[in-house]
């Protein structure tokens, strides 16, 4: 940052940087053929839809799952359906050693990682005065530690490669305080990863892009629960939750060469929930 106009006249070596060597035709920019994409939480919900989107666009995909081994069969189906390479990996993202090992395995199996989508998350939606410390620690370990570990070990690969792209699934709960169910710990975990990812966009400016997706309520296992459902319909300008097919295009955009000038952005996709 320049403090004065005089400071600003000093030409920085290597600037301006060149434009990227990417296609001009927009639909070509969206093609992911030859790219390798890792998706965490890929067995179900948003992560599964995103893994599908990446495969549909031609990417080779590593589907990370924790407990739901449906990811194994889905990876085999994706490989057949889209003539790509797809493999499933069982990884608890709250365990740094498992994350580090799985990142190495993906690089061994696919030779590189172009895009890492840190999507896994969980919530125990309770007021802090009713939440146990173990419940607090569990949410921190998956939503915060999990993203930090994935970013740290994927980032080492990105720096070594000289390229990379991290996409973090945060939440509108990092922007607003949810009603009517108080869930301060979950909300705060998402605020953490949003700001962490923005900070990485600067730290990694020489070799990787980092962006954030902040969904509103989507109709998945983590979507609006019975106590929040009517409020979700009322608050969303769309009057409903999102369908996971409606989030695929955003992740594809961020993963692809259509978004090469985008880093440090936090994109809300919430049917207008946070407008009022
Ligand atoms: N749905 C919504 O309304 C909504 C709104 C805002 C943000 N989000 C965020 O979107 C992301 C995906 O959630 P979703 O809605 O698709 O719900 P989901 O279907 O329940 O997906 C959550 C995923 O996280 C994985 N996961 C949980 N603990 C893990 C661990 N320790 N290690 C590795 N993976 C773990 C789960 O894997 P296994 O099933 O294999 O255990 C599961 O695939 C989450 O980060 C969530 O916070 C969702």
Cβ count within 10 A of residue 37 = 31
Cβ(93) – ligand 1 distance below 6 Å: yes
pLDDT tens string 129-185: 999 999 999 999 999 999 999 999 999 999 999 999 999 999 999 999 999 999 999
Ligand 1 centroid–CA 63 distance in Å is 13
pLDDT tens string 120-132: 999 999 999 999 9
Please give the backbone phi and psi of residue 10, each rounded to the nearest 5 degrees, phi first. Answer: -70, 120
DSSP label at 218?
A: B
Q: Is pLDDT of 7 > 90?
A: no
Cβ(32) – ligand 1 distance below 6 Å: no
Cβ(89) – ligand 1 distance below 6 Å: no
| Percent of the chain predicted with pLDDT > 70 | 100
Which of 186, 248, 256, 259 is an active site residue? Answer: 186
**Cα dihedral: 123, 129, 130, 136 (round 10):** 40
Residue 13 CB burial class (10 angstroms; 0-12, 13-18, ≥19) = exposed
Cβ(125) – ligand 1 distance below 6 Å: no
**Cα dihedral: 32, 35, 40, 42 (round 10):** 50
- Tell me, yes or no, if 186 is annotated catalytic: yes
Which of 170, 171, 236, 256 is an active site residue? Answer: 171
Is the Cβ–Cβ distance between 46 and 215 less than 8 Å?
A: yes
Alpha-carbon distance values, 248 to 4, 83, 97, 232 (Å): 44, 19, 30, 21
pTM: 0.98
Query: How far is 138 from 128, CA to CA, in rounded Å?
Result: 13
pLDDT tens string 13-37: 999 999 999 999 999 999 999 999 9
């Amino acid at each position: 940052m320049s403090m004065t106009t005089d400071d600003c006249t000093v030409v920085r070596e290597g600037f301006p940087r060149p434009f990227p060597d990417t296609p001009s035709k927009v639909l070509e920019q969206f093609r992911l053929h030859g790219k390798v994409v890792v998706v965490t939480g890929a067995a179900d919900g948003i992560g599964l839809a995103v893994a599908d989107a990446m495969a549909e666009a031609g990417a080779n995909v590593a589907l990370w799952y924790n407990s739901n081994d449906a990811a194994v069969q889905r990876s085999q189906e994706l490989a057949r359906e889209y003539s790509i390479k797809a493999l499933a990996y069982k990884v608890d993202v709250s365990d740094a050693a498992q994350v580090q090992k799985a990142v190495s395995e993906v690089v061994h199996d696919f030779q590189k990682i172009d895009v890492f989508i840190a999507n896994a998350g969980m919530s125990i939606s309770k007021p802090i005065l009713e939440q146990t410390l173990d419940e607090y620690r569990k949410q921190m370990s998956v939503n915060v530690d999990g993203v930090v570990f994935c970013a740290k070990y994927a980032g080492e690969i990105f720096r070594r490669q000289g390229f990379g792209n991290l996409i973090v699934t945060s939440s509108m709960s990092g922007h607003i305080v949810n009603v009517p169910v108080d869930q301060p710990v979950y909300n705060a975990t998402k605020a953490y990863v949003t700001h962490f990812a923005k900070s990485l966009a600067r730290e990694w400016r020489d070799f990787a892009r980092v962006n954030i997706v902040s969904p509103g309520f989507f109709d998945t296992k983590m979507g609006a629960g019975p106590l929040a459902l009517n409020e979700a319909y009322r608050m969303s300008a769309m009057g409903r939750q999102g369908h996971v097919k409606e989030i695929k295009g955003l992740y594809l955009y961020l993963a692809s060469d259509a978004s090469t000038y985008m880093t440090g952005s936090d994109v809300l996709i919430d049917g207008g929930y946070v407008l009022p």
